[in-house]
Amino acid sequence: MTRKRFHGLKKVKVRASWNKYNLYNLTRLRAPPTHRNHYQEKWTAKSMSRAYHGEYIREKQWQRMFRSRIPAVVPMDHRYLAENDGSELAAGRGSGREKPLNSEPAKSAKNQIPFMHMTYAPLERRLDMAVWRALFASSARQARQFVTHGMVKVNGQKMPYAGYLLNPGDMFQVEVDRVLYATGAPKTPEQIRKGRKIHRAQRLANQKASEKRLARKRDVAAGRTNLASTGSQLGIDEIRKQRKLDLKALQNQAETILHDKRSRVGAKRKIQIRAFMREVKDTMKTVNRRSEKELDAELASLVSKLETIRNHAADAAAEKAEKEESESQKEELSPEEQKKLREALVLSRENPVDESKPYATPWRPRPFMSAFAFIPRYLEVNHNICAAVYLRHPVARPGFAEVPSPFPAEIQQLAYTWYLRRR
Amino acid sequence: MPPPLRSPSVIPSTSCAKQLRKTAQSRSFSSTPQRDQRATRARRQFFRWLGTQGQNFLNPLPNSTNYLSAYNAAGQLKRVVEAASDRAERSRQSGGTSNSNDNNESGGGNSNGELPPETVRDLRPFPMNPAFVSQPVLSEEMREKIWERIMKKGQSVREVSASLGVEMSRIGAVVRLMEIEKEWQRIGKPLARPYAKAVMSMLPQTHYRPDDTNPRPHESINDLPLHAATGAQIFYPTSESRHFTRTDAARIFDDNLLPADDRVPHPELTLMHKDFKAGMPQEQILARQRAREEAEAKRKQAALDKRKKDREEVQIVDNGRWHFRFTDINVDEAGKDGRGYRGVGWRYGVPSMDRSRGAIKIPTRVE
């Protein structure tokens, strides 16, 4: 028997993932048919909602986690609290000052607390769920894998249990590379092959290096030592090395634009890119002969050129303007322009082309991510370091529930009653 | 008996040969699912959706949220369509001069090329669930400012929380995370900048607005948790002349329940507003608040000292392998029935679960 599809089209089941099939199913999600008996309604509601909320958690496990009590809060106005002591609510009761409670039914309905949307709130406390909600993984199952593979730390300690229940104030961190892999666009098969080649070469180089190190150790043991080069010389050498690496990165980026299968590159742009690559190559040849300042200026102009190439500034007029501008830049860069160029350089450094990574480089978000990108209020996330703090348990408040769930109140209420009967 | 003439085994037709080839192809011994799927109607519809409405999510809006409920059934941005119809309406009312080029670009933005701002309707990631809204997160600048106020200017968490409208626990978390970020920058560990930028551009944000005299708070900071004891509806007969306050009501719900004034996270705001209503000058209000804060700090310090003293009272014997800790215990704490949770030692009829099988070994807290 073949395994059932996780994202099927035949039966609409919304899953906890950023998959495009899932997004399509989310648009097709409808309330289940009524005019059936209560048991059938409850069963459907339970199975629909459990397909999203921790479907990989055993039913018995979830039943043990389920709580009938639902946490909720009411925002209080400190001015109201200061000006009234509560007696105004009872004043005049029974002597004609009483107002009917439901004078504005529409308004009161809007301010009701959606308790039933909190049915699955206990699941949000799990570590894997929190990792997914913080946008560190593309599905709850992937988040669980990250946890079990030891990629997640809680308060600085490795925590390999996906079922760890976070306490308010717990901080969790995920390995940055894993997050980039989970949320980044995937590689093409060609890029995968290239990456494999790089890994193989690296392995070989590592072997050679270790052999060399061993040999050197033997030399040192024999009493031979090398003269260390002077500090200032080392500085300029290192800078040159860095600039060379930057140039190499630029070349790689240009190459990726040239061979990008997603967007066709026109003949004119191809010529432009090739000219650019030639220029980079020429600069690379003369790196060792130039001063640091010259190199920086050259690099900055190259980066700006690459940016224009990337931004489809292909039409002749723009090109002309660009040429003039770049010429003027070569002569004299105003401090503002220099700052801009430095920023562009930093941008290309922090998002480089690196075929050895398991995701497409330069990094870009995976397709269909934006439809699922939200962060619930019970988490405070810092995406720069891929870490988040679990502030408190999710609560319901007038008009809002903090548990992200694709289902309407009726389905959640039925699911709640399903689990309630076992208590 | 001769075989029937039209039998495929006798006269192999092209269709039969095709079928044979097909069966030979499908006879694979791999357990992985086949890549080429049948083109069912559901799949055709899915790919049609991907090519039309799905394109909105494949190529998301730059610097804007991009949720399902922001689009109508035809895959157009609802807020853009509404803005265009509004403009058409207005132009019709004002003079009715030709404005056909405005209607043509209903797919893009308004006349100056900018998207109209999102409403709550556009911030619902799940169209069926109106109770869940993608609420704004703190922008990077705001986080930096919070860190600066706490770590550089030395303001209290309470103060910053009240002035910026951010929960106190969130302030603490922001500072903690920022400290780590700065540490990473100091040691040269690369940050996930492209990822952070992409995510922040997809989320609604609360920006830092120092010029705004009355900025919108990030979240409600004075949340009163619903106490279980207040769930019951109580009919409490009392005299009409009685001045029945929140404190009295709380006492009727539960003997130990405090009134709402004391259970909210920022009781000092209420007290300060009371002082303000009493007509006190600003300096006096602040001085009284400072006095309250000092008293609170003193109380906290006393509690800390007591805990420290208690810890020091535990006698520790170190034998190289274990730290034996000796504390005084009270036998009576087991209670009358011997089942009190503070009771120690083996008691008749009380199971000791220390070594039972199947007990969950996942830690419950990480210090």
User: Do A294 and A405 fall into the same domain?
Assistant: no
Provide the pLDDT for residue B14: 45
User: Do A304 and A413 fall into the same domain?
Assistant: no
The architecture of the domain spanning B137-206 is: Orthogonal Bundle (1.10)
Chain A residues whose beta carbon lies within 8 Å of the beta carbon of residue B236: none
Q: What is the pTM of this model?
A: 0.77
Provide the pLDDT for residue A109: 65
Give how far B182 is from chain A: nearest CA, Å. 10
Domain boundaries of chain B, sorted by first residue: 51-123, 137-206, 233-312, 315-348
User: Do A325 and A377 fall into the same domain?
Assistant: no
Chain B residues whose beta carbon lies within 8 Å of the beta carbon of residue A68: none
Q: Check CB contact under 8 Å for A169 and B169.
A: yes
Mean pLDDT across B120-149: 95
Give the side-chain half-sphere CA count within 13 A for B32.
Answer: 2
Closest residue in A to B363 (Cα) is: A164
Closest residue in B to A406 (Cα) is: B126
Closest residue in A to B196 (Cα) is: A383
Q: Check CB contact under 8 Å for B169 and A168.
A: yes
Mean pLDDT across B132-139: 96
Query: Testing the interface with B: which of A28, A171, A354, A374 to mutate, by most B Cβ within 10 A?
Result: A374
The H or E element that residue A120 is part of is none
- Look up tokens 């978000």; give the residue: A365
Q: Check CB contact under 8 Å for A383 and B200.
A: yes
pLDDT at B365 exceeding the cut of 50: yes
Mean pLDDT across B107-130: 80
Q: Give which of A291, A200, A290, A283 is closest to A249, Cα–Cα.
A: A283
Q: Check CB contact under 8 Å for B68 and A3.
A: no
The percent helix, strand, coil of chain B (3-state, each to 5) is 45, 5, 50
Return d(Cα A278, Cα A305) in angstroms, integer: 13
Provide the pLDDT for residue A186: 95
Among A302, A332, A362, identify where a domain stops. Answer: A332
pLDDT at A316 exceeding the cut of 50: no
Give how far A209 is from chain B: nearest CA, Å. 24
User: Do A144 and A291 fall into the same domain?
Assistant: no
pLDDT digit string (tens) for A328-371? 555 566 788 888 888 878 878 888 888 899 999 899 999 999 99
Provide the pLDDT for residue B306: 96
Provide the pLDDT for residue B361: 79
Q: Check CB contact under 8 Å for A77 and B169.
A: no
pLDDT at A37 exceeding the cut of 90: yes
Of B133, B222, B277, the CB nearest to A83: B277
Give how far A100 is from chain B: nearest CA, Å. 18
Provide the pLDDT for residue A1: 62
Return d(Cα B339, Cα B164) in angstroms, integer: 49
Q: Would residue A383 count as lying in a domain?
A: yes
Give the CA-trace dihedral at A209, A210, A215, A216, to 10 degrees: 70
Chain B residues whose beta carbon lies within 8 Å of the beta carbon of residue A393: none
Of B133, B181, B365, the CB nearest to A167: B365
pLDDT at A23 exceeding the cut of 50: yes
Give how far A176 is from chain B: nearest CA, Å. 7
Mean pLDDT across B340-348: 80
Q: Would residue A160 count as lying in a domain?
A: yes
Between A380 and B361, residue with greater pLDDT: A380
Q: Check CB contact under 8 Å for B180 and A169.
A: no
Provide the pLDDT for residue A249: 83
- The pLDDT mean for chain A works out to 86
As for how many domains chain A has, the answer is 2
User: Do A388 and A326 fall into the same domain?
Assistant: no
User: What is the SS3 assignment for B245?
Assistant: coil
Give how far A354 is from chain B: nearest CA, Å. 14
Helix A292-310 / helix A335-350 crossing angle, nearest 10 deg? 70
Of A76, A183, A383, the CB nearest to B260: A76
When computed from its CA atoms, the radius of gyration of chain A, rounded to whole angstroms, is 30
Strand partners, A380: A389
Q: Are A52 and A123 in contact (CB under 8 A)?
A: no
Q: pLDDT band at residue B305, thresholds of 50, 70 and 90?
A: very high
Mean pLDDT across B309-313: 89
DSSP characters over B166-206: --HHHHHHHHHHHHHHHHHHHHTPPP-HHHHHHHHHHS-EE
C-alpha separations of A392 from A147, A359, A395 in Å:
21, 33, 9
pLDDT at A14 exceeding the cut of 60: yes
pLDDT digit string (tens) for B158-207? 999 999 999 999 999 999 999 999 999 999 999 999 999 999 999 999 99
Q: Check CB contact under 8 Å for B259 and A154.
A: no
Provide the pLDDT for residue A94: 64
DSSP characters over A194-249: HHHHHHHHHHHHHHHHHHHHHHHHHHHHHT--PPPPPHHHHHHHHHHHHHHHHHHH
Provide the pLDDT for residue A149: 97
- Look up tokens 């006698």; give the residue: B315
Mean pLDDT across A66-95: 88
User: Do A118 and A166 fall into the same domain?
Assistant: yes
Q: pLDDT band at residue B271, thresholds of 50, 70 and 90?
A: very high
pLDDT at A278 exceeding the cut of 70: yes
Mean pLDDT across B134-157: 96
Chain A residues whose beta carbon lies within 8 Å of the beta carbon of residue B169: 168-169, 391-392
Q: Would residue A226 count as lying in a domain?
A: no
Mean pLDDT across A79-83: 94
pLDDT digit string (tens) for A364-416? 999 999 999 999 999 999 999 999 999 999 999 999 999 999 999 999 999 99
User: Do A33 and A166 fall into the same domain?
Assistant: yes
Among A270, A303, A332, identify where a domain stops. Answer: A332
| Most confident range, picked from A159-163, B8-12, B35-39 | A159-163
User: Do A376 and A327 fall into the same domain?
Assistant: no
User: Do A58 and A161 fall into the same domain?
Assistant: yes
Closest residue in B to A113 (Cα) is: B131
Q: pLDDT band at residue A419, thresholds of 50, 70 and 90?
A: very high
Q: pLDDT band at residue B329, thresholds of 50, 70 and 90?
A: confident
Q: Check CB contact under 8 Å for A363 and B196.
A: no
- Above pLDDT 90, what percent of chain A? 56
Backbone angles phi, psi at B319, to 5 degrees: -105, 20
pLDDT at B101 exceeding the cut of 50: no
C-alpha separations of B362 from A163, A166, A390, B358 in Å:
8, 12, 18, 11
Provide the pLDDT for residue A282: 86
The amino acid that residue B252 corresponds to is: I
Of A23, A31, A384, the CB nearest to B193: A384
Torsional class of A34: left (φ above 0), alpha (ψ -120 to 50), beta (otherwise): beta
Mean pLDDT across B36-58: 89
Q: Check CB contact under 8 Å for B42 and A389.
A: no
User: Do A383 and A327 fall into the same domain?
Assistant: no
Provide the pLDDT for residue A15: 96
Mean pLDDT across A198-223: 90
Closest residue in A to B63 (Cα) is: A370
Q: How do strand B137-138 and strand B205-206 relate by DSSP bridges? A: parallel
Provide the pLDDT for residue A39: 93
Q: pLDDT band at residue A271, thresholds of 50, 70 and 90?
A: confident
Closest residue in A to B59 (Cα) is: A367
Q: Would residue A361 count as lying in a domain?
A: no
Q: Would residue A194 count as lying in a domain?
A: no
- Above pLDDT 70, what percent of chain B? 85
Provide the pLDDT for residue B226: 95
Q: Which domain holds residue A156?
A: 20-84+110-184+372-419
Provide the pLDDT for residue A229: 42
Chain B residues whose beta carbon lies within 8 Å of the beta carbon of residue A387: 177, 180
- The pLDDT mean for chain B works out to 85
Chain A residues whose beta carbon lies within 8 Å of the beta carbon of residue B226: 71-74
pLDDT at B309 exceeding the cut of 80: yes
Provide the pLDDT for residue A269: 83
User: Do A249 and A118 fall into the same domain?
Assistant: no
Provide the pLDDT for residue B36: 60
Provide the pLDDT for residue A162: 96
Lowest mean pLDDT among A144-158, B232-246, B267-281, B350-364: B350-364
Give how far B164 is from chain A: nearest CA, Å. 15
Give how far B214 is from chain A: nearest CA, Å. 16
Give how far B169 is from chain A: nearest CA, Å. 6
pLDDT at A98 exceeding the cut of 60: yes
pLDDT digit string (tens) for A136-195? 999 999 999 999 999 999 999 999 999 999 999 999 999 999 999 999 999 999 999 999
pLDDT at B102 exceeding the cut of 60: no
- Look up tokens 């319901």; give the residue: A396
- Above pLDDT 70, what percent of chain A? 86
Q: pLDDT band at residue A231, thresholds of 50, 70 and 90?
A: very low
Between B5 and B366, residue with greater pLDDT: B366
The sign of the dihedral angle between the CA atoms of B326, B331, B335, B337 is: positive
Q: Would residue A229 count as lying in a domain?
A: no
Return d(Cα B45, Cα A295) in angstroms, integer: 55
Give the CA-trace dihedral at B79, B80, B85, B89, to 10 degrees: 90
Mean pLDDT across B238-242: 84
pLDDT at A420 exceeding the cut of 80: yes
Q: How do strand B315-318 and strand B323-326 relate by DSSP bridges? A: antiparallel
As given in the structure block, the two tokens for residue B204 are: 């609604």
Q: Would residue A220 count as lying in a domain?
A: no
Give how far B331 is from chain A: nearest CA, Å. 33
As given in the structure block, the two tokens for residue B5 are: 């003439």
pLDDT at B249 exceeding the cut of 60: yes
The H or E element that residue A6 is part of is none
Closest residue in A to B64 (Cα) is: A370
Q: Are A135 and B199 in contact (CB under 8 A)?
A: yes
Mean pLDDT across B304-325: 92
Query: Testing the interface with A: which of B128, B147, B223 to mutate, by most A Cβ within 10 A?
Result: B128
CATH code, domain with A172: 3.10.290.10
pLDDT digit string (tens) for A48-74? 999 999 999 999 999 999 999 999 999
Q: Check CB contact under 8 Å for A117 and B273.
A: no
Provide the pLDDT for residue A257: 80
Among A332, A360, A395, identify where a domain stops. Answer: A332
